[in-house]
Amino acid sequence: MRISRLLIAVCVAVAPRAGAQQALPDLGSAGDATLSPQMERRLGEQVMREIRFREPTYVDDPEVSEYLATLGNRLTQASVGARQDFEFFAIRDNSINAFAMPGGFVGVHTGLISAAETESELASVLAHEVAHVTQRHIARMLGQQQQMQMPMMVALAAAILLGRSRPDLASGAAVAAQAGAVQSQLAYSRDFEREADRLGLRALETAGFDPHAMSSFFEKMQRASRIADDGTMPGYLRTHPVTFERIADAQNRAASLPYRQHPDSAEFQLVRAKLRADQGDARDAVRYFDAVVREGRYASEAAARYGLASALLRARRARDADAEVGRLRRTGAEGPMIDALAARVKQGQGEQETAAKLLATARKRYPYSRALLYAHVGVLHDAARDQDALAVLTEPMRLYPKDATLHQLQAKCYAALGKRLLQHQAQAEVYVLQGSLPAAIEQLQLARSAGDGDFYQLSVVDARLKELRTQHAVEVRDAKR
């Protein structure tokens, strides 16, 4: 269901610009069976915005995102023809699935991250998805959809999205049958699968992962699908049918390659533990990790203790979590995720200053960790040290001007300091980055009338307002065309 829903979201994202029918030529000229790379990217960005800001299952966790970005980056560097930008993100869903969207956006279900027992297994699925992108399989499929199925998919999208917010309106069998029909057309063809496997395996090997992991993970998924004979097949298998032929091919190709032990990164295990600790009822999560630690059922003691401490913190047992972090440290494990957890635990105990110090030290050691930066600014803000928080933000905002989270944090700090012009100005930039120009323009108007700006600040706001209005006018005009 997932992929069809996302591709449907593609249409929804485009449709509101000028009503369903008129928006269709926007996807590329008729007769062109492949979307242009620019159009593909634009489409992907729009869907990504929908997911990031409207999809409740989107995992908005900078540590998980950072991990996936690092892993994904290793694979795209090793992939042939991966010249574009990629973005990897997680969706909280227990099914084993991953999907590539137009424009290099790759979604990974948390179920896949849990089901993968080694990092090479997870990497094998991602490498396959990356190959679908580099080979422009999605663009080609969408190009065909556009001529054949777009109006139907737009109608379907409305029904399904409506059904999501109003379950009573999810009009059962008819929609489901149609969704099934669309979905089968969106499944990758055998040729596409073969190509993605072949190139994915090559990237896996080049990036230093164990190439045998691909076939072993295929087999695992196939076994899982046989157990679930009630039709709840892993989503991945529906869109990427795993056949004996695929398994045999992957085995044969890997057989000619030397066996390579790939040690899992510390973050692989920590991210898995974090996702598990965040799942379901907090007390259940504590019980789960408690048993894991006590019985020694883990690949990594540090990750098991990390999971236990996270679950304890979630269950509002910050003191116990603190003791567990101590045991975690004594395993000798270190890294930005562990420092960030230690700081969250201190915050949970009301020790804001200790947490702030911990994060300041950690950031010196791991200056590129965005997650540590967000946490540091957040804890300074919580400790009512907004001026310090703003000072911490200055340099990163110059380095990463397109990071919406930084602008959001800045707006929060200005708000706490009662600086209204600056607050609305920062909030406007958040909306610009989220692709919502009308909301941004509104914020700048609020900034103008805030009454606490000097002449220079007001002229900066005016200039930006003018710029955004022009940009918005162009967007409106393009949508009408």
- Give min distance, CB of 98 to Zn ion, in A: 9
Of the pair 225, 410, the CB lying nearest Zn ion is at 225
Of the pair 193, 205, the CB lying nearest Zn ion is at 193
Sheet holding 87-91, edge to edge: 87-91, 105-109, 98-101
DSSP letter at 74 equals H
Is residue 240 close enough to count as binding Zn ion by CB under 5 A?
A: yes
How would you classify the pairing of strands 105-109 and 87-91? parallel
Which residue number is nearest to Zn ion in terms of Cβ? 240
Is residue 188 close enough to count as binding Zn ion by CB under 5 A?
A: yes
- Give min distance, CB of 248 to Zn ion, in A: 17
- Give min distance, CB of 188 to Zn ion, in A: 5
- Give min distance, CB of 261 to Zn ion, in A: 27
Q: How many residues in the chain?
A: 481
Site map (CB under 5 A) of Zn ion, residues 192-211, x = contact: -x--x---------------
- Choose the stretch contacting Zn ion; rule: CB under 5 A; options: 55-63, 141-149, 189-197, 275-283: 189-197
How would you classify the pairing of strands 98-101 and 87-91? unpaired
Site map (CB under 5 A) of Zn ion, residues 313-332, x = contact: --------------------
Is residue 246 close enough to count as binding Zn ion by CB under 5 A?
A: no
The DSSP secondary structure of 253-286, one letter per residue, reads HHHTSPP---PPPHHHHHHHHHHHHTSS-HHHHH
Query: Smallest Cα–Cα separation from 422: which of 380, 402, 393?
Result: 393
Size of the site for Zn ion (CB under 5 A): 4
Of the pair 126, 406, the CB lying nearest Zn ion is at 126
71-61-67 Cα angle (round to 5): 15
Question: Rounded CA gap, 207 and 381, in Å?
Answer: 40
Of the pair 168, 191, the CB lying nearest Zn ion is at 191
Question: Rounded CA gap, 381 and 414, in Å?
Answer: 10
Q: Long-range CB contacts (< 8 A, 24+ apart) of 146-151?
A: 146/24, 146/27, 146/28, 146/35, 147/30, 147/33, 148/185, 149/182, 149/185, 150/11, 150/24, 150/27, 151/20, 151/21, 151/24
- Give min distance, CB of 193 to Zn ion, in A: 5
- Choose the stretch contacting Zn ion; rule: CB under 5 A; options: 8-16, 69-77, 169-177, 191-199: 191-199
Is residue 217 close enough to count as binding Zn ion by CB under 5 A?
A: no
Of the pair 188, 217, the CB lying nearest Zn ion is at 188
**79 exposure class (CB count in 10 Å sphere: 0-12, 13-18, 19+):** buried
- Three-state SS at 417: coil
- Give min distance, CB of 245 to Zn ion, in A: 14
- Three-state SS at 89: strand
- Choose the stretch contacting Zn ion; rule: CB under 5 A; options: 85-93, 186-194, 402-410, 462-470: 186-194
- Give min distance, CB of 197 to Zn ion, in A: 8
Q: What is the binding site for Zn ion (CB under 5 A)?
A: 188, 193, 196, 240
